[in-house]
């Protein structure tokens, strides 16, 4: 029998800005006891692994404040705006961060970025048939772009040099598709 749902008894906002909201819930568990549960609301996000050809991908890197790092490559990614579909947001992020538009987006995964403290849902795509098409980056984005071979990127994922979940998941899906002859 599947686990029973918990009931939210109260919700209290702790903090909010334009990117996130933190709330504290009092939840009743199936055994009738209550617990405090903190939830970070981020909404939805997208990422695109852009293939410039069969063997090379565009990667970006920027200073990541939380981890105090500026040396890890990742794929273009960002949040969905309220009026956007995941595909529209993926194209916008690709243009803002990589300077390309994909002629074709291939969905590879929809997943929960963490299973217990946030409601964020991520949508992952592979981008193909790229054409130059730049949009200005967001005002908090200062990034470097490069083209790396897909094999180099896969090696960085396997060595844990690339650590963000969106890039790791998309690269592993792309490798699986390539190994099956389905990466097109």
Report the CATH number at residue 139: 3.90.79.10
Cβ atoms of residues 117 and 42 within 8 Å: no
- The pTM score is 0.91
In this structure, of 16-20, 101-105, 135-139, 141-145, the range with the lowest mean pLDDT score is 135-139
* 3-state secondary structure string across 11-77: EEEEEECCCCEEEEEEEECCCCCEEEEEEEECCEEEEEEEECCCCEEEEEEECECCCCECCCCECCE
Full residue range of the structural domain in which residue 24 is found: 7-41
Instruction: Name the β-bridge partners of 23.
Output: 13, 39
Whether 11 maps to a domain, the answer reads yes
Q: How far, CA to CA in Å, does 113 sit from each of 7, 36, 108?
A: 23, 21, 15
Quote the mean pLDDT of the chain: 94
Q: How many CB atoms lie within 10 A of CB 104?
A: 12
Domain co-membership, 106 together with 171: yes
Query: How many domains would you assign to the chain?
Result: 2
Residue 78, both tokens: 């960002």
Whether 71 maps to a domain, the answer reads yes
Domain co-membership, 104 together with 143: yes
Pick the most confident of 61-65, 113-117, 136-140, 145-149.
145-149
For position 53, what pLDDT does the model report? 96
């Amino acid at each position: 029998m599947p686990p029973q749902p918990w009931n939210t008894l109260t919700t209290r906002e702790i903090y909010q800005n334009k990117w996130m909201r933190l709330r504290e819930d009092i939840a009743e568990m199936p055994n009738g006891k209550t617990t405090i549960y903190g939830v970070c609301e981020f909404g939805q996000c997208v990422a695109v692994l852009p293939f410039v050809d069969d063997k090379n991908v565009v990667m970006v890197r920027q200073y990541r404040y939380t981890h105090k790092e500026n040396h890890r490559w990742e794929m273009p990614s960002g949040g969905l705006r309220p009026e956007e579909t995941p595909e529209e947001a993926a194209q916008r992020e690709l243009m803002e961060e990589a300077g390309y538009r994909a002629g074709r987006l291939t969905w590879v995964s929809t997943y929960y970025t963490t299973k217990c403290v946030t409601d964020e849902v991520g949508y992952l795509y592979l981008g193909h048939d790229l054409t130059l098409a730049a949009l200005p980056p967001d005002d908090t984005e200062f990034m470097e772009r490069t083209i790396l071979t897909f094999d180099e990127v896969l090696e960085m994922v396997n060595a844990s040099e690339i650590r963000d979940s969106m890039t790791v998941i998309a690269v592993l899906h792309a490798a699986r598709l390539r190994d099956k002859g389905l990466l097109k």
